[in-house]
């Protein structure tokens, strides 16, 4: 009898913990929640921005990082869930020769569908371009709202992180 009471208490505590986690899902740190607001520089090794002025599922989106560094990200014009689409990144300026690696992580804005982390590879014929292919899952709730967290790791250790909020066509 004593063991049953102890087991019941343990199960109750576990259930309470799960409920607390579920109620605080919007506060759990994700790559996009680590991004500074208002285009602030978080520290000397991280440049982070949230890009809201354009929808990369509709057209390319260009961002000036510094006066002489320009980043343009585009998804294929046919980007939609469950269909492979291209990712095309163009980087101009002094960052071009300093890039060590580039990756993009896709996550849903309103539901945890996991994170699809995709490395971009340099275009052998154009040192300013990086490319990849992606397939995003379809959400059973019907949501099409996504976040693309683009990360450029520079050789000197600086990390550039850009979060793009976009909507895939239904």
Note down pLDDT in tens along the chain; length 170 residues: 666 666 556 454 455 544 443 344 333 333 333 333 444 443 356 777 787 778 877 888 888 887 788 999 988 777 777 778 889 999 998 888 889 999 999 887 777 766 778 999 999 998 899 999 987 777 666 667 788 899 999 888 889 999 988 877 76
CATH of domain 29-167: 2.60.40.1930
Beta strands 46-51 and 159-167: pairing type? parallel
Q: What are the two backbone dihedrals, phi and then psi, of residue 166, each rounded to the nearest 5 degrees?
A: -150, 165
Domain ranges of the chain: 29-167
From the number of C-beta atoms within 10 Å of its C-beta (0-12, 13-18, 19+), residue 26 rates as: exposed
55, 113, 136 from 122: Cα distances, Å: 23, 28, 22
pLDDT of residue 107: 83
Q: How far apart, in whole angstroms, are the C-alpha atoms of residue 36 and residue 32? A: 9
Q: How far apart, in whole angstroms, are the C-alpha atoms of residue 30 and residue 35? A: 9
DSSP run (H or E) holding 83: none
């Amino acid at each position: 009898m004593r063991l049953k009471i102890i087991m019941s208490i343990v199960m109750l505590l576990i259930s309470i913990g799960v409920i607390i986690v579920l109620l605080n899902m919007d506060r759990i740190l994700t790559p996009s929640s680590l991004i500074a607001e208002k285009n602030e520089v978080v520290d000397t090794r991280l440049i982070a921005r949230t890009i809201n002025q354009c929808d990369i599922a509709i057209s390319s989106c260009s961002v000036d990082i510094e006066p002489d560094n320009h980043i343009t990200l585009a998804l294929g014009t046919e980007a939609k869930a469950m269909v492979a689409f291209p990712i095309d990144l163009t980087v101009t300026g002094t960052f071009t020769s300093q890039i060590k690696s580039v990756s993009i992580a896709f996550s849903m804005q309103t539901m945890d569908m996991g994170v699809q982390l995709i490395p971009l590879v340099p275009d052998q014929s154009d040192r300013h371009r990086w490319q990849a292919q992606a397939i995003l899952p379809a959400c059973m709730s019907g949501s099409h709202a996504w976040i693309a967290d683009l990360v450029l790791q520079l050789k000197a250790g600086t990390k550039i992180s850009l979060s793009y909020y976009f909507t895939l066509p239904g």
